Amino acid sequence: MTWSQMQPLLEQASWETLIMVGWSTLIAVVLGLPLGVLLVLTDRGGLLQNVLVNKVIGQVVNIGRSMPFIILMVALMSFTRWVTGTTIGSEAAIVPLAIGGIPFFARLVETAVREVDGGLVEAVQSMGGNTWTVVRKVLVPEALPSLIASTTTTVIALIGYSAMAGTVGGGGLGDLAVRYGYQRFEPGFMWITVALLAVAISLIQFAGDYAARTLHRRGGRGGAGPRLRLLKTKEPAAADVSKVA
**Residues at the contact surface with other proteins, assessed by CB under 8 A:** 47-49, 117, 119-120, 122-131, 133, 137-138, 141-142, 144, 215, 218-221, 223, 240-241, 244-245
Q: CB 119 → other proteins: shortest distance, Å? A: 4
DSSP state of 184: T
Judged by beta carbon, residue 2 or residue 126, the one nearer other proteins is 126
- Residue burial 11-34, b: 16+ Cβ < 10 Å; e: rest: eebbebbbbbbebbbebbbebbbe
Judged by beta carbon, residue 8 or residue 45, the one nearer other proteins is 45
**Residue 133 to residue 242: CA distance in whole angstroms:** 37
Judged by beta carbon, residue 73 or residue 149, the one nearer other proteins is 149
* CA dihedral for 160, 162, 165, 171, sign (positive or negative): negative
Judged by beta carbon, residue 198 or residue 241, the one nearer other proteins is 241
* CA dihedral for 108, 106, 78, 9, sign (positive or negative): negative
Judged by beta carbon, residue 179 or residue 218, the one nearer other proteins is 218
Q: CB 222 → other proteins: shortest distance, Å? A: 9
Q: CB 45 → other proteins: shortest distance, Å? A: 10
Q: CB 36 → other proteins: shortest distance, Å? A: 18
Q: Residue 87 carries which side chain, given as an amino acid letter?
A: T
Of 14, 4, 8, 5, the residue nearest 171 (C-alpha): 14
CB 32 within 8 A of CB 101: yes
Q: CB 214 → other proteins: shortest distance, Å? A: 12
